[in-house]
Copies of this chain bind each other. A is one copy, B any other.
Amino acid sequence: MIKTRFTEMFGVRHPIVQGGMQWVGRAGLVSAVANAGALGFITALTQPTPEDLTKEIKRCREMTDKPFGVNLTILPALKPPPYAEYRHAIIESGIKIVETAGYKPQEHVDHFKQHGIKVIHKCTAVRHALSAERMGVDAISIDGFECAGHPGEDDIPGLILIPCAADKVKIPMIASGGFGDARGLVAALSLGAEGINMGTRFMCTVESPIHQKIKEQMVATVL
């Protein structure tokens, strides 16, 4: 059993997160992650409407009584999705943990915090992590060059980024990008993180809604 400020803060058994992944972060995977003692996130924008998100959260809760969260990724767009409505769906569903990513989440953080929701914000640079800390989030997911999704433009790998962030960030931090097994978890803890976020590794699980052939190809493709 590894106890860190992260496991304590979020009430999970393991310092392991299945971060938001578009199309993959659905109730089936997230409830399996929760039942295994880690922290999974349903991806809000995978659901076509806020009402669908409410249903997906309900469906997840039917499969687990453990904590799980919802990811809300904020990206600039000509026709942005109705972020405020998704946010309301999250709050009204009684979700207590949110992962935000992308553009400055201030208004979302403020609203979530009013409802006692803990927020983890994904940051690709130390300066963004410090800015999120000032914004009032509860934890940082520090996101190296290895990470999928939107890993920023600084291209700093985790071996360098994690300790640099740990030197300055005071709130708990999990590390994202390049982690796939226990060796990586121990490395992340050594570098100053208090947990890891894994994506690809969870994409290859039985519960992940990805075609079996793609999972097999991912597992076969090793360096």
* A interface with B by C-beta (< 8 Å): 125-126, 144-146, 156-161, 163-167, 177-181, 183-184, 186-188, 190-192, 222-223
Q: How far does the Cβ of A129 sit from chain B's closest Cβ, in whole Å?
A: 10
Residues A159 and B158 in contact, CB atoms below 8 Å apart: yes
Q: How far does the Cβ of A127 sit from chain B's closest Cβ, in whole Å?
A: 8
Q: Quick one: closest B residue to A178, CB to CB?
A: B159
Please give, as numbers and ranges, the residues of chain B lying within 8 Å of A163 by CB-CB distance: 180-181, 183-184
Q: Which of B159, B179, B223 contacts A164 (CB 8 A)?
A: B223
Q: Quick one: closest B residue to A190, CB to CB?
A: B186
Please give, as numbers and ranges, the residues of chain B lying within 8 Å of A144 by CB-CB distance: 157, 159
Q: How far is B179's CA from A223's CA once the two chains are assembled, in angstroms?
A: 22
Q: Quick one: closest B residue to A181, CB to CB?
A: B163
Residues A146 and B164 in contact, CB atoms below 8 Å apart: no
Residues B126 and A223 in contact, CB atoms below 8 Å apart: yes
Please give, as numbers and ranges, the residues of chain B lying within 8 Å of A146 by CB-CB distance: 157, 159-160
Q: How far is B126's CA from A134's CA once the two chains are assembled, in angstroms?
A: 42
Q: How far does the Cβ of A192 sit from chain B's closest Cβ, in whole Å?
A: 6
Please give, as numbers and ranges, the residues of chain B lying within 8 Å of A183 by CB-CB distance: 163, 166, 190-192
Q: Which of B157, B165, B181 contacts A158 (CB 8 A)?
A: B157
Q: Which of B161, B178, B184 contacts A223 (CB 8 A)?
A: B161
Q: How far is B223's CA from A126's CA once the two chains are assembled, in angstroms?
A: 6
Q: How far is B210's CA from A214's CA once the two chains are assembled, in angstroms?
A: 51
Q: How far does the Cβ of A186 sit from chain B's closest Cβ, in whole Å?
A: 4
Q: How far is B156's CA from A159's CA once the two chains are assembled, in angstroms?
A: 12
Please give, as numbers and ranges, the residues of chain B lying within 8 Å of A181 by CB-CB distance: 163
Residues A159 and B159 in contact, CB atoms below 8 Å apart: yes
Q: Quick one: closest B residue to A163, CB to CB?
A: B183
Q: Quick one: closest B residue to A157, CB to CB?
A: B157
